[in-house]
Structure 1
């Protein structure tokens, strides 16, 4: 066998599912339901509510606020909120 025939047998050898040792499996369709990360129950539109975030500081002008990476703070602890900070919202009863 030459190199061209081998390349047809191994279309993508670097992908684990396409190696010769990998068994072919049927992939299931993903679930279309969105689940709550805390309870695991499915979320519905009627369960959602609006959230009002606290801005960093009123003294910073609009241009400075756009350039800043930290734009919002926690209303209780005044910690900066960002993409790497886990957040939770308490719903008023």
Structure 2
């Protein structure tokens, strides 16, 4: 579980850092206006918020990649051991040990 979390968070962190550097190089956060007023008053706050927004987008992308990489066996696998499955379950073991 920890490896999957690191696999999601680390690349998204790096992408967020690069995206934040590029975005803040091209745009001055104090010049981004909403209804004629600056959206954020302090540059450092804009840089911080922008970084976390980019990181959230990267996390979402990495999570979707991990989700869609799962095989059919992982998706359809029953979390219960065979003996604890309901009697009506088609994958419950019978006396011979076969499904």
Q: TM-score, normalised by structure 2?
A: 0.22
Q: TM-score, normalised by structure 1?
A: 0.22
Looking at CA atoms only, which structure, 1 or 2, has the larger radius of gyration?
1
Structure with more helix by fraction: 2
